[in-house]
Amino acid sequence: MNERIPVKDISPVKVHKPDAAKHENNYTPRSHIYVRAVKGSLETFRRFFGLIFLGTFAILPWLEFNGNQAILLDIEAQRFNIFGLTLWPQDLTLLAWILIISAFALFFVTTFAGRVWCGFMCPQTTWTFIYIWCEERIEGSRNKRIKLDQRKMDFDKFWRKSLKHVVWILIALLTALTFVGYFTPIERLFVDFFTFNVGFWAGLSVIFFTFCTYGNAGWMREIMCTHICPYARFQSAMFDKDTFTVAYDARRGEKRGPRSRKEQPEENAKKGLGDCIDCNLCVQVCPTGIDIRNGLQYECINCGACVDACNGVMDKMNYPKGLISFTSEHELAGGKTKIIRPKLIGYALVLAIMSGLLVFEIMTRVPLEIDIIRDRNSLYRETNDGLIENVYTLKLLNKSQTNREYKVEVIGLDGHKYIGDDKARVAGGEVFNLAISIAIDPYALKEQVTEFSFKVSAINSPEDIQRTESTKFIYQ
């Protein structure tokens, strides 16, 4: 009881905010954000990566595989075709594996490089930047857009605003048609939609996703990231002091202040000035409207726009780059970043194990499913020959995308008589109902309920495809 609890003295953090008197166009996150265009290596990479993402998204539903749409997630038919793989409700475990792997991949990337998913891969960010790019081409640069919104409505403002929204809606419509094309045959969808012959649910889905894309990327923008997306709220749980995030080097940048390009760093140091000239460009290029100089904030999506803007200013001032950069808390404190660390290794191991299990599940998956349905009208019946007969319906599901022929055998029921076809040809991705009867001499039955199995094997197939399912022969 006499031991004292050690107390750690923590100095309050001083938050530096730009001087509102020096910057006329200073907006809070809830105000309309006019994003300034920026050039740099990260912006070039983000656009290149976004182009690949958009191209993949737009091209995939148009590809064909074995004469069918390569990727078709047919919810109505409860069948997902992904190139040569067909998934049915019975394959729900595969979908679970994919979702688990995606989650741990996100955790791994976030632990290593922060919210790069949000900044470089998230559809909300990608489409928002597309809409901003269209806005710049039609209404002009950031300052021109601000002045345009402040003007009263005239012809110039009217046609620019109208054209912008028409372009936004067209992009949203094309996006919606492409997205819905993953769930319904895309060629027929495009033709039917523009000829007003589209089905109710497909048409409603296109209109709904058009509205969502237009609203999210055109109007809500950063609100989706700062108020709706749950990822921004729990991301900090995956961060540590070695996570790479966009950060401002306060030791080098403070104290902020404007200065002439001709002044040497030594002269600025005598005045107590750091490398930050307080130009506010890092705020103007931010799509969520935050000031990265105030420290790590949950609104930051790690897009790197402020990094490019600051590096451009540093070049003009003949200062070293990196005042704002992708760095870790340890590096900002003068230490070194530990790339290999327990948390990252743990996520990597779990990710590798889950990926291996998914591959194993796919490799060992039998593309055949059997469902045995007994005759519900009677448990058994006696034939004219005095035999006991049970009637069954075998539902054969060909889970592959190629036509196959199957042979049916009865195992574990000695002395039986097979009545009906013992072969069936099933088209790829289809279900075939095979009605058969099994008859047997009642003196050959030792019990009232005898368990046996149906074995179904593929004929003339390069793969060894077979499935055995047990059922019961009833006589009582």
Q: Which residue has the higher pLDDT, 362 or 191?
A: 191
pLDDT (average), residues 449-454: 93
Q: Which residues contact 235 (CB under 8 A, 6 or more apart)?
A: 110, 114, 115, 298
Specify the pLDDT at position 203: 94
Task: State the helix-helix crossing angle for 200-213 and 155-180, rounded to 10 degrees.
Answer: 130
**Which of the listed ranges 11-25, 226-240, 246-260 does the model predict with the highest average pLDDT?**
246-260
E strand or H helix at 146, and its extent?
helix 142-150
Query: If you compute the radius of gyration of the chain from its CA atoms, what whole number of angstroms results?
Result: 33
Q: pLDDT band for 13, please (50, 70, 90 cuts).
A: very low
64's CB contacts (< 8 A; 6+ apart) are 70
Does 14 score more than 60 pLDDT?
no
Tell me the average pLDDT of the chain: 88
Nearest to residue 142, comparing CAs of 283, 312, 303, 257?
Answer: 283
pLDDT score of 402? 84
- Helix or strand holding residue 453 (H, E): strand 449-459
393: burial class by Cβ within 10 Å (0-12, 13-18, 19+)?
middle
Q: How confident is the model at residue 23 (pLDDT cuts 50, 70, 90)?
A: very low
Q: In the chain, which residues fall in CATH 2.60.40.10?
A: 368-474
Tens digit of each residue's pLDDT (9 = 90 or more) over 116-133 = 999 998 999 999 999 999
In sequence order, which residues have a C-beta less than 8 Å from that of residue 419 and are 6 or more positions away? Answer: 389, 436, 437, 438, 439
CATH superfamily ID and name for 368-474: Immunoglobulins (2.60.40.10)
pLDDT at 24: 47
Per-residue CA distances from 160 to 134, 315, 318, 474 (Å): 11, 35, 39, 79
pTM of the model: 0.81
* In the predicted structure, residue 278 carries a pLDDT above the cut 70: yes
6-19: burial string, b at 16+ Cβ within 10 Å, e else: eeeeeeeeeebebe
CA angle at residue 285 from 280 to 289, to 5 degrees? Answer: 80
Does residue 29 have a pLDDT over 80?
Answer: no
The pLDDT score that the predictor gives to residue 5 is 61
